[in-house]
Chain A
């Protein structure tokens, strides 16, 4: 990433004269009701201290990703927005509306072509659009147009959450709107896509992905499904603090039973931790405070592709067709209270095998 290149450099490279550049600075100052002295300060800043522009577009979604983002404890959302990035377009919080808002997309594309990050929350529904209609309308036009246009000029795309990464709830069977994850949208530009799945993703994971890019001046290394390895390479089950109870065959059998109160394993309550790749059991949520299993509810697997259609949140994983191997692990775990070490070893081996199968599915 050529971050040493300032925005002024970029604008000059694109053939914009210094005179036009200074005029832009004057207009920016005037638009805010500020005096000519500010124009010089703006010019100075743009010549020396760029913040990376971000266009944060919203398709079919529920805004839980934005809500998660603002809950980040370190860094604070405030500091990300004021000091790290330039959040030029995000219709959830931006002051501008209507055509003044849409003008920002065009302006960012023009001025920072290939330099900005496109953050996608939600996804497009293609069913209506394919038949000449619209189910997600921005400025009178299909959201998909805005998405494709911005993607064509972006340096990279961040697919926030399970909507952008996989499709999520509106794409659950039978997917009435034809909701389609960003990387599968026909005609989407071939730019790097970082998937940050979860419904929503963990707050600090979201801000960590951004700060990683800014600090190390490169994109995080991704697994084969396009997720940052640092957060999505291990299953919740692998690092769950209740794992010893799984290995010892100690399970919650009913809500609020003795096992529940003692923090036994939630596997029998339907926990999807054994098949879910996320950082909940390590980073935990909202400043490391808790995560679903710690608060007594089985993991529903919200960062996994198609998690809505995997057989019910309270059904044990062994009910799932592809889960034969883990069912064996369960049986091993159940009978292994006296030989815990062996059970752990067997389970780890099965896990490794399962993981390689998982990757082979892509």
Chain B
């Protein structure tokens, strides 16, 4: 039992009752959360543990850098493609390869479609059940639900009383079957659920509508990349040629495909505007008194930036998603980011299941070491049956990345905070409208609700930006530019003996970077620092807690046995645990000692 103060301002008290949630469900991958709660059911200590490790980077070693995108794409099938894009950028950076403008447009549309898809699926299918009670929806009056729907979203066509009655009947039949499927053992009698039955019915209806519609969003990626999940990419451009004029147009993007893409982009925007955004505001209306979960978002946030307006320019001025770091909540100062500076991004392992050599503290990804060392000897239980983790020792397969020594939050909220600080016009306008609609002050952004809202706003922006890049692509084609691949340096015979590069993107979950070293045309070293490594990190050597842990702190739990509030906070980050763990081996070293970055890809 002890009370500890962390450098980033939290008082950790582990004297109260310990509540364990393992597995944390409705996430990608596997994680465990443990909290202590006091007699008032307030969380006084929080522990988050990544419980999966896959070792992907060691696998990349010695392979063709042009193949790397396919390997790292399999880091995560939920944010599918974003690792591939980061990878081809890292190789292009290392080899000095530029890509055509059309390739930039197509890559941006693919990346933006992922933002929309991932955010929407996250909200409706991973996060909504923290706020929405499907069983309560059975008590709704379909007519009142119809009125609610028409009020919050007058343009959405599916709003008749009969429509909601049909959905409710289907739901009733499902519940009465006694086989509750994914809804089984939910906390449906928990007082933390605040929606009236009509709002629950509307939201459950949209859970199903979104499940139907999400598959449309990704069809653009099937057209450009051949399949989805896991579309195809290539170093130097995009694989799909354009052929709108000549013989054999079926071999490339032709007018039919382009029309399909355009149609999907328009439908996507309509769905986000008519369903996703209104739902966030409607549900937010009932939960706006529940402003827990801000964690470190009011202090330290980090955004790498993404979506280059023009090809090949990754300077902050050319990125439509902003880049920068905010420290100590000072929105008047945006700190610049340099991915190559060994002093900025570093990873620590004192509380992770890895070892560094004696005397080594933090390591930049280009110099990282990953030496797996699973040890739960001080935890309660056994090494293959953990009852309670010991957060004073190692307790996670995730490393602890820090920016200039600070624990940082990344993701949609971090991006929107940086954008707000920077005066990003579109985003600032969205934030103001949302806060005004909910009658909340700016500080309300720093919360679980703010994180969930930022994700929706970003989906709306991304839906618009997809259309922007589609227009740009069509203008280029009209002007006679149909290039999709530069052809530069494709042949390894043209490469320098040694090269190193970095690629970065904003994955739906946050800032993502890949660092590559190439030697004699093969990968010598490959490392990824991924969003969930930042957010889900355990404590560092100074004792700073990470964003997940901070978000759980001081939250009040209505029923300790049903910690839906803990799930809410963690889910609001959209955790991706397969992303967060990985290993890399150094030249000539045995497999047990591996070099690299964050958590366990």
CB-nearest residue of chain A to B20: A98
| B215 and A260 form a contact (CB under 8 A) | no
Q: Which residue of A lies closest to B69 (CB)?
A: A313
Query: Is A92 a contact of B26 with CB atoms below 8 Å?
Result: yes
Q: B215 contacts A33, CB within 8 Å?
A: no
Residue from the list B208, B260, B583 in contact with A78, Cβ < 8 A:
B208
Q: How large is the interface on B (under 10, 10 to 19, 20 to 34, 35 or more residues)?
A: 35 or more
Q: Is B222 an interface residue (CB 8 A)?
A: yes
The 7 closest A-B pairs by CB, nearest first: A263-B251, A64-B77, A262-B248, A176-B55, A95-B186, A133-B374, A292-B226
Is the pair A297, B232 in contact by a Cβ cutoff of 8 Å?
Answer: yes
Q: Which residues of A contact B177 (CB under 8 A)?
A: 42, 45-46, 49, 51, 86
B25 touching A92, Cβ below 8 Å: yes
Where chain B touches its partner, the secondary structure class is: loop
> Contact between B215 and A72 (Cβ–Cβ < 8 Å)?
yes
Q: Which residues in A have their C-beta under 8 angstroms from that of B567?
A: 97
Tell me which of B28, B240, B247, B594 contacts A92 (CB under 8 A). B28
Q: Measured between alpha carbons, how far is A42 from B229 in the docked complex, in Å?
A: 37
Q: Which residues of A contact B240 (CB under 8 A)?
A: 295-297
| A66 CA / B242 CA spacing, docked (Å) | 32
What residue in chain B is nearest A308 (Cβ atoms)? B71
Q: Is the CB of A71 within 8 A of B51?
A: no
| Residue A326, interface by CB 8 Å | no
9-residue interface stretch from B299-307, B416-424, B479-487: B479-487
Query: Which single member of B24, B178, B260, B384 contacts A45 (CB below 8 Å)?
Result: B178
Query: Is the beta-carbon distance between B179 and A51 smaller than 8 angstroms?
Result: yes
What are 6 A-B contacts with C-beta separation under 8 Å? Answer: A38-B176, A63-B77, A93-B26, A141-B386, A256-B485, A292-B226
169-183 of chain A: CB within 8 A of chain B: 169-170, 172-177, 179
Are B188 and A32 neighbours in the complex by a CB distance under 8 Å? Answer: yes
Chain B proximity mask over A21-47: 1 for CB below 8 Å, otherwise 0: 000010010011110001001111110
Chain B residues closer than 8 Å to A88, beta-carbon distance: 179-181, 184
Inter-chain contacts of A222 with B (CB < 8 A): none
Chain B residues near A360 (CB, 8 Å)?
none
B183 interfacial contact with A, CB 8 Å: yes
Residues facing A in B35-62 (CB within 8 A) are 51-56, 58-59
User: Shortest Cβ distance from B145 into chain A, in angstroms?
Assistant: 19
B184 touches A104 (CB 8 A): yes
A62–B234 CB distance below 8 A: no
B591 at the interface (CB under 8 A from A): yes
A253 to B228, CA, bound (A): 26
Q: Contact: A173 with B59, CB < 8 Å? A: yes
Q: Which residue of B lies closest to A139 (CB)?
A: B22
B125 sits at the interface (CB 8 A): yes
Residues of chain B contacted by A61 (CB below 8 angstroms): 77, 578
Quick one: CB contact mask for A213-240 with B, threshold 8 Å, 1 for yes?
A: 0000000000000000000000000000
Name A173's closest neighbour in chain B (CB-CB): B59
Query: Which of A124-132, A151-159, A340-348, A349-357 is near enough to bind chain B?
Result: A124-132
Complex interface bits, B170-207 against A, C-beta within 8 A gives 1, otherwise 0: 10001111111111111111000000000000000000
Other-chain residue from A169, A254, A312 in contact with B64 (beta carbon distance below 8 A) = A312
Is B181's CB under 8 angstroms from A81's CB? yes
| Contact, CB under 8 Å: B490 / A255 | yes
Contact across chains for B54 and A98 when beta carbons are under 8 A apart: no
Min CB distance B480 to A, Å, is 14
Contact of B227 among A95, A128, A280 (CB under 8 A): A280
Interface hit among A12-20, A184-192, A281-289, A327-335: A281-289
- A312 to B: closest C-beta gap in Å: 5
How far is the CB of A123 from the nearest CB of chain B, in Å?
A: 10
Task: Establish whether residues B178 and A46, one from each chain, have CB atoms under 8 Å apart when the complex forms.
Answer: yes
B241 A256 Cβ-Cβ under 8 A: yes
Interface centre among B135, B178, B234, B381 (most CB of A within 10 A): B178
A356 to chain B, nearest CB (A): 29
- Residues on A with C-beta less than 8 A from B247 are 262
Closest Cβ neighbor of A76 among chain B residues: B212
- Contacting residue for A255 out of B53, B178, B246, B485, CB 8 A: B485
Closest beta carbon of chain A to B487's beta carbon, Å: 6
Q: Which residues of B199-251 are within 8 A (CB) of A? A: 208, 211-212, 214-215, 218-219, 222-232, 234, 236-237, 239-243, 246-248, 250-251
The reply on A73 being an interface residue by CB < 8 A is yes
Contact for A63 among B25, B260, B578, CB less than 8 A: B578
Chain B residues whose C-beta falls within 8 Å of the C-beta of A44 in the assembled complex: 176
Q: In the bound complex, do residue A294 and residue B226 qualify as a contact, i.e. CB atoms below 8 Å apart?
A: yes
Chain B residues closer than 8 Å to A142, beta-carbon distance: 384
Task: Say yes or no: A296 contacts B226, CB within 8 Å.
Answer: yes
Contacts A137-B52, A174-B58, A256-B241 known; A264 to B578 CB distance under 8 Å? no
Q: A62-B74, A63-B578, A94-B184 are in contact. Are A137 and B32 (CB under 8 A)?
A: yes
Name the distance in Å between B125's Cβ and chain A's nearest Cβ: 6
Given contacts A45-B176, A139-B22, contact A295 B223 (CB under 8 A): yes
CA distance A237 to B507 in the complex (A): 35
Q: Least Cβ distance of B250 to chain A in Å?
A: 5
Closest A-chain residue to B571, C-beta based? A97
Tell me whether A65 is interfacial, beta carbon within 8 Å: yes
The answer to whether A293 touches B181, judged by C-beta atoms less than 8 angstroms apart, is no
- Do A78 and B212 form a contact, CB below 8 Å, given A62-B74, A140-B32, A140-B387? yes
Give 13 new A-B contacts, CB below 8 A, not counting A68-B228, A86-B180, A280-B227: A34-B138, A46-B178, A76-B211, A93-B25, A95-B182, A97-B24, A98-B23, A140-B381, A173-B59, A261-B248, A262-B247, A285-B228, A297-B234
Q: Is A100 an interface residue (CB 8 A)?
A: yes
Most A CB contacts (10 A, CB to CB) among B176, B184, B383, B484 go to B184
Q: Is the CB of B178 within 8 A of A94?
A: no
B150 interface hit (Cβ, 8 Å): no
State whether the Cβ of A337 lies closer than 8 Å to any Cβ in chain B: no
B80 touches A58 (CB 8 A): no
Q: Does residue B454 face the partner (Cβ distance < 8 Å to A)?
A: no
A29 CB, nearest partner CB in chain B, Å? 8
**How many Å from the CB of A139 to the closest CB on chain B?**
5
- Most chain B CB within a 10 A radius of its CB, from A92, A104, A256, A313: A256
User: A135 to B228, Cβ gap below 8 A?
Assistant: no
Q: Find out whether the CB atom of B178 lies under 8 angstroms from the CB atom of A43.
A: yes
Alpha-carbon gap, A77 to B53, bound state (A): 29
**Could you tell me which residues of chain A, from 264 to 317, have a CB within 8 Å of some CB in chain B?**
264, 280, 285-287, 289-297, 300, 302, 308, 312-314
- Taking the closest CB of chain A, its distance from the CB of B30, in whole angstroms, is 6
- Asked if B312 is at the interface of the complex by the 8 Å CB criterion, the answer is no
The answer to whether B71 touches A263, judged by C-beta atoms less than 8 angstroms apart, is no
Verify if A149 is at the interface (C-beta below 8 Å from B).
no
Near A by CB (< 8 A), chain B positions 50-89 give: 51-56, 58-59, 63-64, 66-67, 70-71, 74-78, 80
Chain B, residue nearest A314 (CB): B66
Q: Which residue of chain B is the closest to A145 with respect to CB atoms?
A: B384
Tell me the minimal C-beta distance from B467 to chain A in angstroms. 20
Q: Is the CB of A67 within 8 A of B80?
A: yes
With both chains docked as a complex, state the minimum distance between the C-beta of A136 and any C-beta of chain B, in angstroms.
5
Query: In the complex, which of the residues A58, A172, A295 contacts B222, with contact meaning CB atoms closer than 8 Å?
Result: A295
CB distance B28 to A261 under 8 Å?
no
Chain A nearest CB: distance from B198 CB in Å? 17
How would residues 104 to 128 of chain A score, 1 for a CB under 8 Å from any chain B CB and 0 otherwise? 1000000000000000000001001
Residues on the A chain within 8 Å of B246, using CB: 261-262
Instruction: Point out the residues of chain A lying under 8 angstroms from B563, CB to CB.
Output: 98
Contacts of A297 in B (CB 8 A): 225-226, 232, 234, 239-240
Q: Which residues of A contact B28 (CB under 8 A)?
A: 62-63, 92
Cβ-based interface call for B397 (8 A):
yes
Closest to A85 in B: B181
Query: Of all chain B residues, which has the CB nearest A289?
Result: B222
Instruction: Give the residues in chain A near B183, CB-CB below 8 Å.
Output: 95
Contact of B239 among A31, A140, A287, A295 (CB under 8 A): A295
B80 A91 Cβ-Cβ under 8 A: no
Let me know if A168 is at the binding interface, CB within 8 A: yes
Query: Does residue A134 face the partner (Cβ distance < 8 Å to B)?
Result: yes
Known A-B contacts A70-B211, A168-B74, A199-B74; A255 and B23 likewise in contact (beta carbons under 8 Å): no
